[in-house]
Amino acid sequence: MVLDNLGSSLRGTMDKLRGKSRLDEDDVQEIVKEIQRSLLQADVEVDLVMDLSSNIEERALNEEPPGGTSARDHILKIVYEEMVEVVGDSTEIPLEPQTIMLAGLQGSGKTTTAAKIAWWFSKKGLRPAVIQTDTFRPGSYQQAKQMAGNAEVQFYGDPDAEDPVKIARDGLEATEDADVHIVDTAGRHALETELIDEIEEIEREVNPDRNLLVLDAAIGQGAKEQAREFDDAIGIDGVTITKLDGTAKGGGALTAVNETDSSIAFLGTGETVQDIERFEPDGFISRLLGMGDLKQLSERVERAMAETGEEDDDWEPEDMLQGNFTLKDMQRQMDAMNKMGPLDQVMDMIPGMGGGMMDQLPDDAMDVTQDRMRNFEVIMDSMTDEELENPRSIGAKQVQRIARGSGTDEETVQELLQQHKMMDQTLNQFQGMGDGDMQRMMRKMQD
Ligand code: GDP
């Protein structure tokens, strides 16, 4: 994801603040330097980095943390708010008939994005059409037609025509029965007067509801000038960042958003028409800061808890982290996890646990499907309390008895014991992290 780097390096700096209730000047300096370094590495433009970091610095030194807030949470909140300020809300894209025009340099991913956006609208129940006006790049007609075909949306283009304005006009007429029109325009290798003149003319003809600038995530410092020129020519309402699957940068796009006073509309994450996401600022910044998707996580946890209902008063989440993970705990975890969604996704959202942590675990460590869970529950019902508390003491004879009693087979009983062992090992890994976040999360699940 964009600025991945920032997450991990900032997390390291933040971790040093654990246990502190106030930030001193040195702490703030160190954090601000870390943020500057990461943002510059990610190609965010220097002036923007300086503005952002001086705002963070000033607030961190002058604002009084609310009572009970740790220094770490306080600075995270400030950094988060300042980043949100730069990135802004997602560009508003109403689900209604409209015309969207795409602008950008050649190779930025416009043609691909046109088909992706059309696909996105079609999945929302609208009838989109792609109009290809690029007469400059050989092959753009074929490519656009094929991608629109992949997206199963209407398409208009004219490989023999030379006047993009006429193609736009004819295209709008020919696709009259569509309700969303996506107009793709020509790009050039660099900003040229000819390109800008052409796009202004198409814009006058098409009269779009919104203009989206398409930017390659790897664009870097050139973003500012591009954004400025396109904004001056046609007015940019939103940015689509493409190729986020291939780079950890993306800072140029932030610069462009800031320069045009616009926002991010979509993210492109691959070459097929389905590889498009609506931009979500909360999740984006949370991940950027390596904080996990806090908002989403707490919502999911609350929902899961509401559904799970009664809780066991004696349950101490810390016990699990002390190595006392019993089968009863496992049952509780499986229940909660099943209500929250796949565990690897949940883990990704826990502060400090994202960023590939799950990649180090065996794939099926937490893979407990509903069916298996039901089997496991029946098996656990046939166990004694002693066995549930000390699953590692269960021998071959007991396995036989449990299998018979539960009407399953020994293999499934062994599977359950194996699953427990894997989860136990996984939790032991977390134990070594010295991270209060896990305990807090567990307690929250219990509350
Ligand atoms: P245009 O010249 O601006 O119309 O750019 P294209 O749509 O032709 O895209 C240029 C290249 O980038 C093509 O090879 C696309 O397949 C590729 N591309 C576009 N968007 C993405 C994306 O989000 N991820 C990846 N990996 N490739 C992309």
Q: Report the C-alpha dihedral over residues 220, 226, 228, 230, rounded to 10 degrees.
A: -140
**Residue 431 pLDDT class (50, 70, 90 cuts):** low
CATH of domain 294-446: 1.10.260.30
Mean pLDDT of 274-281: 87
Please choose, from the candidates 393, 95, 399, 116, the residue with its C-alpha nearest in 3D space to the C-alpha of residue 273.
116
For residue 214, the model assigns a pLDDT of: 95
Question: How do residues 337-378 score in pLDDT, each as one tens digit?
Answer: 655 555 555 555 554 444 444 444 444 444 455 567 778 888
Q: pLDDT at residue 25 above 60?
A: yes
**155 pLDDT more than 90:** yes
State pLDDT tens for residues 180-220. 999 999 887 767 888 889 999 999 999 999 999 999 988 87
Could you give the residue range(s) of every CATH 1.10.260.30 domain in the chain?
A: 294-446
- Evaluate if residue 414 carries a pLDDT over 80: yes
Distance 272 CA to ligand 1 centre (A): 9
CB–CB of 285/84 below 8 Å? yes
107 labelled as ligand-binding? yes
User: How far apart, in whole angstroms, are the C-alpha atoms of residue 298 and residue 188?
Assistant: 46
- Ligand 1: which residue has its CA nearest to atom 5? 109
Ligand 1 pocket check for 271: Cβ under 6 Å: yes
For 229-249, what is the mean pLDDT?
86
Is residue 242 within 6 Å of ligand 1 at its C-beta? yes
- 188 marked as part of a ligand binding site: yes
**CATH number 1.20.120.140 given to 4-87:** yes
Q: What's the gap in Å between 243 CA and the centre of ligand 1?
A: 7
Residue 352 marked ligand-binding: no
Domain covering 98-280 in this structure, CATH number = 3.40.50.300
Stretch(es) of the chain classified as CATH 1.20.120.140: 4-87
Residue nearest to atom 13 of ligand 1 (CA): 109
Give the number of the atom of ligand 1 that is nearest the alpha carbon of residue 116: 20
Cα of 103 vs centre of ligand 1, distance in Å, is 14
Q: What is the whole-number distance in angstroms between the Cα of residue 236 and the centre of ligand 1?
A: 20
Q: Look over the chain and give the mean of its residue pLDDT values, rounded to a whole number.
A: 79
Residues of the chain with CATH 3.40.50.300: 98-280
- Measured from the CB, is residue 419 less than 6 Å from ligand 1? no
**Residue 38 burial (C-beta neighbours within 10 Å; 0-12, 13-18, 19+):** buried
pLDDT at residue 225 in the model: 87
3 state SS of 199: helix
